[in-house]
Structure 1
Amino acid sequence: MNNIPYQPFKMAITRVFDAPRELVFKVWTESDHFAKWWGPKGFSLEVTKMEARPGGMFLGCQTSPDGSHVMWGKFAYQEVIAPEKVVFIQSFSDEKGNTIRASFNADWPLEIMNIITLEENEGKTTLTLKGGPLNASAEEQASYEGMAPMLQQGLEGMFDQLADYLASQK
């Protein structure tokens, strides 16, 4: 993560999962697991590529339940330290992995830096996700901040899906 210019983190969420840290790390970094819980509720995720290592990339396509909305996204992994940390830059993309603007807002930041840390205590894992715009203009930062409550709600819903998925893996 050295030499990556980013603004101070605008979002921080902490959640305790009833699962060992190694399993939580695994479901964040292996495509077979990741595809079963990542994304908005009801959406399906097709993982085209997932190389969870520094310099690696995730590329995937989310589809709405009725098939009317299709969204590609990618992660550029910066740091992956098993089983304690995953750092990635998240962007909307086309099917080839080229970064594109979000379809819902022309002022949405092109890149979002995310840092996930995992700490285990007595068989449970505390996951902390910090995120915020990377190399964003003032307009992009304002757009991100304006949507922060909706973003937080979406992440909480996704973490509910993660908790359910982890429970199914025991």
Structure 2
Amino acid sequence: MNIKSIQKKNLIITRVFDASVKRVWKAWTESERMMRWWGPKGFTSPLAKIDFREGGASLICMRSPEGKDIYNTWEYRKIVPMQQTEFIQNLADKDGKRIDPVKASMPPDFPQDVRSVVTLKAKGGKTEMTVTEYDYTSDQIFDLSEAGLEQCLDKMAESLK
């Protein structure tokens, strides 16, 4: 019997923002603030419906430079105000219904149910934020996710100035 082991990798990005924990927290929890930074470089965010409570779900849209809308749902599992939030990310349709990534023209190894944790810590008037996305099994998707998240966080830093 041939058993293939799948290596899982966690994407971990830590940034320090020149902003208070409260301002960084609001960037994750308030629609108008999230729409300023969500999506990689060149993308906009025309929609962020946020139901920020344990058991709640948000629907966030990023629009490509070509005008293609890509929707994500975030289902909140754990919230520790001003410190941590944990949610499950999935691709969705415009109504917030989870969709199969392959049907959304994504590669077959594009993940579903991505567990994500955002942790904030005050650091002398600034905020250290760590974003962790768990259990990637594809190096290609990991690299794309890392590049996209880095670009989103660059835009977040700009929005906090």
Paired with 1:146 and 1:66, the residues of 2 have a C-alpha distance of: 23
Secondary structure at the counterpart of residue 37 of structure 1: coil
Q: Give the conservation status (yes or no) of the 8 Å contact 1:35–1:46.
A: yes
- % identity of equivalent residues: 35
Query: Structure 1 11/53 Cα, relative in aligned 2: closer, same or farther at 3 Å?
Result: same
Q: Tell me what 1:26 maps to.
A: 26
Taking structure 2 as the reference length, what is the TM-score of the superposition? Answer: 0.87
Deviation at 1:110, TM superposition (A): 1.4
Q: Tell me what 2:100 maps to.
A: 101
Structure 1 consecutive aligned stretches of length 4 or more whose deviation exceeds 4 Å: none
Deviation per residue, 1:13-71 (Å, 9 max, x gap): 1110010001100111110100111111121212252111101111122211231x221
Which sections of structure 1, spanning at least 5 residues, go unmatched? 1-6, 134-140
Secondary structure at the counterpart of residue 10 of structure 1: strand
Query: Structure 1 9/125 Cα, relative in aligned 2: closer, same or farther at 3 Å?
Result: farther
Q: Give the conservation status (yes or no) of the 8 Å contact 2:54–2:78.
A: yes
Q: Which of 108, 123, 126 pairs up with 2:125?
A: 123
Number of paired residues? 152
Which sections of structure 2, spanning at least 5 residues, go unmatched? 1-6
Deviation at 1:9, TM superposition (A): 5.8
Paired with 1:17 and 1:131, the residues of 2 have a C-alpha distance of: 20
Matched, 1:151 2:145: yes
Q: Tell me what 2:49 maps to.
A: 49
Taking structure 1 as the reference length, what is the TM-score of the superposition? Answer: 0.82
